[in-house]
Structure 1
Amino acid sequence: MKSHTQHVLKTSVMMMAGALLAAGLAACGGSDGDSSSSQPQQDFGYTTLSMVSQSGLQFKDMNKDGKLEPYEDWRLSADVRAHDLLGRMTLAEKAGLMMHGTAPVLNDTTGAGTGSAYDLDALKALINTQDINTFITRMGGDAQAMAEQYNKIQTLAEQSRLGIPVSISSDPRNHFQYVLGASAGGSGFSQWPETLGFAAIGDATLTRRFGDIARQEYLAVGITQALSPQADLATEPRWARINGTFGEDADLAKAQVQAYIEGFQGGSTGLTPSSVVAVVKHWAGYGASKTGFDGHNYYGRFITFPGNNFAYHLKPFEGAFAANVGSVMPTYAFPDTSVTVDGVTLEQVGAGFDKALLTDLLRGKYGFKGVILSDWGITSDCDTNCINGTPAGVAPSFIGFGTPWGMENATKLQRYVKSVTAGMDQFGGATEPEFLIQAVQQGLLTEARLDESVYRILLQKFQQGLFDHPYVDAAKAKTVVGNAQFQAEALDAQRRAMVLLQNTGNVLPLAGAGQKVWLYGVDPAVAQSYGYTVVSTPQAADVAILRVSTPYETLHPNYMFGSMQHEGSLAFVDGNKDYEAIKQAALAPKSIVSVYMDRPAILTNVQDKATAILANFGTSDVALFDVLTGKGKPQGKLPFELPSSMAEVEAQLEDVPHDTAHPLYPFGFGLSY
């Protein structure tokens, strides 16, 4: 398929005298029955489909029958169109719609969909044979190339029997840390602090603006679903996924979650053609991970509530519901003991299988009407290596990996049935519609139950305008993604998010240029561009400047995610490379330590070795030097407390915030200058 910008719509609509091509009607708006020619013509952009004419207007012939069906009529409401299309679908098409696969790429060596070009043959089979039309993308590349690749997928979708467009989702792309399964490579997207940084700034208006910018960048390349934000609370300091949260305070997180979603979805009144669907996660209590071990792993499948504080972990989701969030993703993990909230007792299975959590609490108490999307792999088998770890000398892999916690001994069919019965609408990482087909054919699920989920999924596609305008302008994408204005705003957020923890003798901001600096973890070219002379030893410097990270351990190297995640101790110890550099830097007259905090670092034995300490949550060297030199000022306040020792971390309760006995720095701490 040629680039979208090289085509015009080659139909009679382009020749129709007096046709109005500018505004059109949104998929979720318009009259439900008015066929008057006074209606402005919908602008479809590029399409491979033929047209059907009625009352002087043009409509896509999505099912290729030469007639205008209600679901093809852009004048009708999204609700009417979704119901009509639902009635035309086969059982196989409905089952396919409930899959949310991984978009296959060429020459994929990871099995996770990373690469720079889609495998279109594989996608054609998934879309046109298995009827799957929602995929996560982990593809990288420049913005124009991503957009062109996306357009090729939509051409395949137009070839399907009913012409249902494809929805593309993504993990976060606008931050600094890339961890497979939690975030995606940036591909030139504007680079902002992690969500912890937004919590540190505490400005909901800024967070909403970030969401708006990320929304524009996503849509430019064809990404229409954001697998974010995390509404999980970082009440367990050792947990590996704190960096994607808004910290440990429920009130702060609630406000930030709401603002984030309003930015991505374009407001709080529901989805429109300019919305990216936000998928808030992970419902619920994920942050209370037992001993800090993460639910991606068999050994980390438990959450725990020794403080009886489960209800506190629901509060940030209230911000999501206030923003009319489009989708909710349940957590992998499940409570290690019985938990009852608002009279609802949770089952001790993964949240994706728990009817009390999904139907009684989420849909019942909170009235959620959107799409419930499972986290990845909950119906997959977890083999011996997945459960016990690979043998010594054998690298872990995604082969045999699954997350069916609480249902490990069930069959795949049983997992699908239990999850759909619990309230699940769509299955992340799955391309197995045959199991849902079997479930209906065997009387384990009714087709009417599948219809409920299919309607919700279709409704969102119509509300987003995908049926009428699925293609993007590939040439324009490169002027949107990571443009200078967006990058400037992102850089300012990086500066503002830094938290000044220590500033002995008011060493910051630094005196003027010309000083000698010893650097660790910093690009010398950046320091030189600010007028500093880089020297080779701390003793020869006027000031040492270091960038270090929160310490961690790799306690489970034989598990796929355990091998990648940061677990265990938060303390700087002898032998730790960063700590050795901190001790070396103490030989300089002054030393400034900037600590990247994906988890709350213990700085007890760093305070006496540094003149100044700055916490950051994802920052460039340029933003750091702007703050060091006073061009920008650190405005952040800690979104979690910093413990004074690992003994106090081990004594605190996983589900309770702000509860180490003697924190070195309390929640909300931050100096200024």
Structure 2
Amino acid sequence: MNLKTKSKQIIEVDGLKFKDLNNNGVLDAYEDWRLSSRERAENLVSLMNIDEKLGMLMINQLGMGKAKKEGENTEILDEVFEKADGTPMKSLDKYPTTETIEKLHMRHFILRDNMPNEDINEWVNKLNEVAEATRLGIPVVVASNSRNEFSSKLLAENLEKLPFSLYPGTLGIAAAVQGDLEQGEGYKIIDDFAKYSKNEWLDSGIRKGYMYMADVVTDPRWQRTDGTFGEEPELISEIIARLIKGFQGEELNEDSIALTIKHFPGGGARENGFDPHYKEGKWNVYRTEGSLENYHLPPFIEAAKHNPSSMMPYYSAPSIEKSHFQSFDGEAIPFEEVGMAFNHYILNHLLRDKLGFTGYINSDTGIMGKTGWGVEDLTVPGRFAKAINAGTDLISGTNQVKDLKKAITSNLISPQRIDQANVNVLIEMFDLGLFDNKTYVGDQPVVNEATKKEAEEAAYQTHLKSVTLLKNDNVLPAKGQKLFVKAFGRGEEETEKYQELLLKDVQALNIDIVEDYKEADIAALFLYPVSGSYFDATPGLLELEICEDKTNIALNGDTYKETTLSNFYELNKIVDYMHENDKKVVTSVNMILPWILENVEKKSNALLVGYDTFPGAVLEVILGQFSPIGKLPLTLPKNSKVIVVDEYGVSISRNDVPGYDKDKYMREGMTYAYVDQAGNEYRSGFCLNY
């Protein structure tokens, strides 16, 4: 075993080499790589003091010094103290990195910066150099949300410098997989995605992924829909199972990326779409008998069979008043109206006892703050106690070690439970080899030029396969015709960035276009609508129509204006000219939500959707260079009437039932799915080919 240290000695026992991480000249059990991870973790916990144990149970965002803006600290580690400002990403004081490791004893960190591999490697190694020099030499584990899918967040980045191959969004991956299944290709996309992505993560030094979402979308207005694999429980279950196997292997090991599957027991059952990042979305609502067991739990049941390293419960709390009673395996589920990370029955009886989950439980970020639903009246020490006693092992989005210590000294949490939680999270670190030969990274990269090219090709093929053709009035494929292209976003800045990306792909594909739509035979319009925002509730229900300055009614009865796409004046001018002159309009819509497409479909001679799909891939389908196979991963609502909410806050279509099954519960004579001018129903699994 190739061991490397910076400040501690390497000792030899029985002709084998080991790190002497506590500098006592003796081989302790936690230093002995021949023992099981559990044995090593239990030994280490017995040597840790209370402060070291408390720091181990927290994970928080940590920035890279080199990711700072020009003129600020740009050392390897961010050693600047920053006062909290009350915003979601800065709700707590941020301490210098070295102090966080040495004095707060934290070892779990979330990286959100996008930097080249050499910078990430350097940063991870410096973190571990500081950690190694501490009393017990406990290393650091760096986590991140998924990095292998394109999204609007990356528009400002230099994509060529990012060390990760970029697939379409997860909805696009699901669309492509469904197309492949019909073609007899099985789940090769998922297997390749996991294989290539895992190696890219290994090379970066990020060893823990806050991914993937096993949630089943059942309310179309959920802001986080674009991070899911859609609404089909069976499809999602198979995808999640293969992702766990692909990233982790049969068992977690030194060549694995540890996954955190989220958000147990399913975040899709939103109350009228509102997300639990804000109080309007605090409830999971189960109006339909059996919906939790039949729709929401299956992907997590399958995930538990494949032993993900950790699971993340959602912020939301189950509503008793607004729900039909739910059961699992013939046993009624007693709802406690607290967030899932505080919910003893959900975590212990359902997740561990019933589903057989053996990993650790990692809370969502910020439950000690504004998203502690159902425990608002508890102090921070009380919240720590409630979560940890309920079964949560690692608390995300906090560095409040003093508050956790107060919970201990006040006898709110037993020392035995603290030890158990420490063992649970440390097993992952031992499994990953972080104490041994995987502490420092960058010496032996897994990815080479050949495999990098393979990964990029696999990713682009998935972009192509994700494109879903919904309407085609004998327009596509458009061969030998003059083409005009234009992107529309929500806001001027976003529109400009999408237009730049579109023209960059046009140039890369060597496509001839005209600059004036009046000279074109076909106007290809790329629409990138956005509704609402991630951390704040809209005044009313999330808007799903593609609109500009639409008058809506807020929850409090006031009126307000909503825009999901800007510059309709120019869009309509182009559309009207093309139609008046017997020319064609081809529209591509970025499907990050199940948009109501009525006012777009009627303007279009051909209609396609992508899912954070590269515009070049859509263009290849438009031009007949690739035949479309992608299938809708979501059912698209017919209009606003099928998702209307009455004066009691109850939606006419069930919040906890996927779109493909909503008709079972609609009023007589009503149907949920959109039907276009050709009579096609835009249900999950629908597509056209040519």
Please state how far the C-alpha of 1:299 moved relative to its aligned partner: 2.0
Please state how far the C-alpha of 1:288 moved relative to its aligned partner: 1.2
Residues 336 and 348 of structure 1 are in contact (CA less than 8 Å); yes or no, is this contact kept in structure 2?
A: yes
Counterpart-to-counterpart distance in 2, 1:565 and 1:116 = 42
Task: Tell me whether 1:228 sits opposite 2:216 in the alignment.
Answer: no
Deviations 1:583-608 (A, max 9, x none): 33433211211111111111122222
1:98 to 57, 67, 71: 57
Please state how far the C-alpha of 1:162 moved relative to its aligned partner: 0.8
Please state how far the C-alpha of 1:551 moved relative to its aligned partner: 5.2
CA distance 1:67–1:529, shift in 2 (3 Å): closer
CA distance 1:574–1:329, shift in 2 (3 Å): closer
Unaligned runs of 5+ in 1: 1-41, 381-401, 555-559
1:413 to 351, 373, 381: 381
Specify the alignment match of 1:444 in structure 2: 412
Counterpart-to-counterpart distance in 2, 1:637 and 1:265 = 28
Task: Tell me whether 1:239 sits opposite 2:222 in the alignment.
Answer: yes
* Amino acid in structure 1 at the alignment position of 2:486: L
Task: Tell me whether 1:193 sits opposite 2:168 in the alignment.
Answer: yes
CA distance 1:626–1:114, shift in 2 (3 Å): farther
CA distance 1:212–1:566, shift in 2 (3 Å): farther
Q: Which moves more between the two structures, 656-665 or 353-362?
A: 656-665
In the TM superposition, 1:270-309 aligns within 5 A as 270-308=251-289, 309=291
CA distance 1:68–1:214, shift in 2 (3 Å): same
Task: Tell me whether 1:615 sits opposite 2:609 in the alignment.
Answer: yes
Please state how far the C-alpha of 1:579 moved relative to its aligned partner: 4.8
Task: Tell me whether 1:453 sits opposite 2:421 in the alignment.
Answer: yes
In the TM superposition, 1:307-456 aligns within 5 A as 307-308=288-289, 309-311=291-293, 312-337=295-320, 339-342=325-328, 343-380=332-369, 402-456=370-424
Residues 141 and 187 of structure 1 are in contact (CA less than 8 Å); yes or no, is this contact kept in structure 2?
A: yes
Deviations 1:568-589 (A, max 9, x none): 1211236542654553343321
Please state how far the C-alpha of 1:537 moved relative to its aligned partner: 3.5
Counterpart-to-counterpart distance in 1, 2:392 and 2:107 = 17
Give TM-score scaled by structure 1 length: 0.83
* Amino acid in structure 2 at the alignment position of 1:208: D
Please state how far the C-alpha of 1:194 moved relative to its aligned partner: 1.1
Specify the alignment match of 1:639 in structure 2: 633
* Amino acid in structure 2 at the alignment position of 1:449: R
Counterpart-to-counterpart distance in 2, 1:76 and 1:211 = 29
Unaligned runs of 5+ in 2: 81-95, 178-185, 489-498, 550-564, 645-651, 664-670, 675-681
Specify the alignment match of 1:467 in structure 2: 435
Please state how far the C-alpha of 1:153 moved relative to its aligned partner: 0.6
Deviations 1:191-245 (A, max 9, x none): 1011111211235331122122221111111111100100111110011000001
Please state how far the C-alpha of 1:624 moved relative to its aligned partner: 2.1
Specify the alignment match of 1:671 in structure 2: 688
Deviations 1:629-655 (A, max 9, x none): 233232111111111101112221110
Counterpart-to-counterpart distance in 2, 1:535 and 1:177 = 27
Residues 175 and 194 of structure 1 are in contact (CA less than 8 Å); yes or no, is this contact kept in structure 2?
A: yes
Paired residues, number: 598
In the TM superposition, 1:149-188 aligns within 5 A as 149-177=123-151, 187-188=162-163
Specify the alignment match of 1:492 in structure 2: 461
* Amino acid in structure 2 at the alignment position of 1:298: K
Counterpart-to-counterpart distance in 2, 1:590 and 1:430 = 54
CA distance 1:60–1:657, shift in 2 (3 Å): same
Deviations 1:20-72 (A, max 9, x none): xxxxxxxxxxxxxxxxxxxxxx2114544211122222211101111111111
* Amino acid in structure 2 at the alignment position of 1:69: D
Please state how far the C-alpha of 1:287 moved relative to its aligned partner: 0.9
Please state how far the C-alpha of 1:131 moved relative to its aligned partner: 1.3
Please state how far the C-alpha of 1:517 moved relative to its aligned partner: 2.2
CA distance 1:437–1:334, shift in 2 (3 Å): same
Residues 188 and 482 of structure 1 are in contact (CA less than 8 Å); yes or no, is this contact kept in structure 2?
A: no
Q: Which moves more between the two structures, 160-169 or 187-196?
A: 187-196
Task: Tell me whether 1:139 sits opposite 2:113 in the alignment.
Answer: yes
Specify the alignment match of 1:51 in structure 2: 10
- What RMSD, in angstroms, separates the aligned Cα atoms of the two structures? 2.8
* Amino acid in structure 2 at the alignment position of 1:207: I
SS in 2 for 1:164: coil
CA distance 1:306–1:630, shift in 2 (3 Å): same
Specify the alignment match of 1:517 in structure 2: 484
* Amino acid in structure 2 at the alignment position of 1:667: S
Deviations 1:535-575 (A, max 9, x none): 34432211111111245256xxxxx8117999612112365
SS in 1 for 2:148: coil
Residues 328 and 372 of structure 1 are in contact (CA less than 8 Å); yes or no, is this contact kept in structure 2?
A: yes
1:538 to 506, 514, 517: 517
Specify the alignment match of 1:387 in structure 2: none
Deviations 1:378-414 (A, max 9, x none): 112xxxxxxxxxxxxxxxxxxxxx2111111210011
Counterpart-to-counterpart distance in 2, 1:487 and 1:177 = 16
Deviations 1:501-536 (A, max 9, x none): 01111x222214x62424335433533554544334
* Amino acid in structure 2 at the alignment position of 1:359: N
Residues 352 and 358 of structure 2 are in contact (CA less than 8 Å); yes or no, is this contact kept in structure 1?
A: yes
SS in 1 for 2:599: coil
Please state how far the C-alpha of 1:93 moved relative to its aligned partner: 1.3
CA distance 1:51–1:465, shift in 2 (3 Å): same
Counterpart-to-counterpart distance in 2, 1:409 and 1:107 = 40
* Amino acid in structure 1 at the alignment position of 2:197: A
Task: Tell me whether 1:249 sits opposite 2:232 in the alignment.
Answer: yes
* Amino acid in structure 2 at the alignment position of 1:616: G
CA distance 1:178–1:464, shift in 2 (3 Å): farther
